[in-house]
Amino acid sequence: MSNSSSISEFLLLPFADTRELQLLHFALFLAIYLAALLGNGLILTAVACDHRLHTPMYFFLLNLALLDLGCISTTLPKAMANSLWDTRAISYAGCAAQVFFFFFFCLFLAEFSVLTVMAYDRYVAICKPLHYGSLLGSRACAQMAAAAWGSGVLYALLHTASTFSLPLCQGNALNQFFCEIPQILKLSCTNSYLGEVWVLLFSACLTSGCFVFIVFSYVQIFRAVLRMPSEQGRHKAFSTCLPHLAVVSLFLSTAIFAYLKPPSISSPSSDLVVAVLYSVMPPTLNPLIYSMRSQELKGAIRQMISWMFLSSDRFSLFLHK
């Protein structure tokens, strides 16, 4: 019987046993990872470079894109490396780092805090437009973003410390393709995980508060939009809210299903599929959701891409002279 002090590495769950399927998974995840990098990178560059997007809404979208980049970079590179090199091992320190960054970037407090602040931004813009500049000035936006990132760091530290302080007596094999706290708790000694359960309950209370605030904000938003006399105004207001609602719904549905699904439908293969859905798909789809509905963002991205191609053409002409 082993304990946490004698464990130097963990064994992750492989996606496939045959070499051909491992290489196929590597190619698939590489394509998804590059798509996520491209989508979020375009949003980051467009918001940073285009002065027309220097507004609170796009500032918080920039923060969400940073979180999405961090989230998908926490899980996929290691999974791709394991598939490419036909290995399952991850070091103890690497596993602890993966747990910390996964909770920081992917789960609940940091990302959900940013989504909550984005809901507040839409509430002020639609329900209190005359006070938008005073309530969401540059200093207030920076403070809210700092609070979201800071709470995410503390949240991740709390979970990581409480998890890796547990004695592990059930081996070192994890039934997941990355280090995930529920899988690590399965390796702990009997009843030694109760401290982490209390941490999870505390986290559930915090996220419930964020969820209630988002629901309340959108109830007020919909009431205000329905009272607008202009159909064009209603359409414009809804078009700025729909991407945020879609991202919140995607985030909540995947995370809730992953952690609250009935044990009767739980199996290593289904857990693997669900983990891919909630850790990989939101960071990949979020840029597409926002860019589809925002004409300003699409215009900025098109202008940026045109400038890049134009600059490359000029550089080629310069080289040929």
Give the pLDDT confidence score for residue 260 in this predicted structure: 62
Predicted TM-score (pTM) of the model is 0.85
Q: Give the C-alpha separation, 231 to 155, whole Å.
A: 43
Give the pLDDT confidence score for residue 312 in this predicted structure: 56
Give the pLDDT confidence score for residue 27 in this predicted structure: 92
CB of 304 closer than 8 Å to CB of 42: yes
Query: Which tokens hold the place of 132?
Result: 């938008």
E strand or H helix at 208: helix 194-226
Give the pLDDT confidence score for residue 315 in this predicted structure: 47
- Set out the domains of the chain in order of their start, with CATH numbers: 4-320 (1.20.1070.10)
- What is the length of the chain? 321
Q: Which residues of 9-19 are buried (b: 16+ CB within 10 A; e: fewer)?
A: ebebbbbeeee
Assign 10 to helix, strand or coil.
strand
Closest to 212 (Cα-Cα) out of 67, 85, 112, 126: 112
Task: Render each residue's pLDDT in the chain as its tens digit; 321 residues.
Answer: 444 557 788 988 888 778 888 889 899 999 999 999 999 998 999 898 888 888 998 999 999 999 999 989 998 999 899 888 888 889 999 999 999 998 888 766 678 888 889 999 999 988 888 888 888 988 999 999 998 888 888 888 888 888 888 888 778 888 888 888 878 888 887 665 566 667 667 777 777 888 889 889 989 998 888 888 877 777 877 777 888 888 888 777 776 666 666 555 566 666 777 777 778 888 888 888 887 767 778 777 788 777 766 665 554 554 555
Three-point CA angle 104, 106, 112, nearest 5°:
85
Query: Which tokens hold the place of 155?
Result: 């949240």
Give the ranges where 50-178 is alpha helix by DSSP (H).
56-85, 92-105, 109-127, 132-135, 138-164
Q: Give the C-alpha separation, 245 to 112, whole Å.
A: 12
Give the pLDDT confidence score for residue 1 in this predicted structure: 40
pLDDT in tens, 50-83: 888 889 989 999 999 999 999 899 989 998 998 8
CB of 99 closer than 8 Å to CB of 181: yes
Give the pLDDT confidence score for residue 304 in this predicted structure: 78
Query: Which tokens hold the place of 237?
Result: 């207001």
Amino acid at 49: C
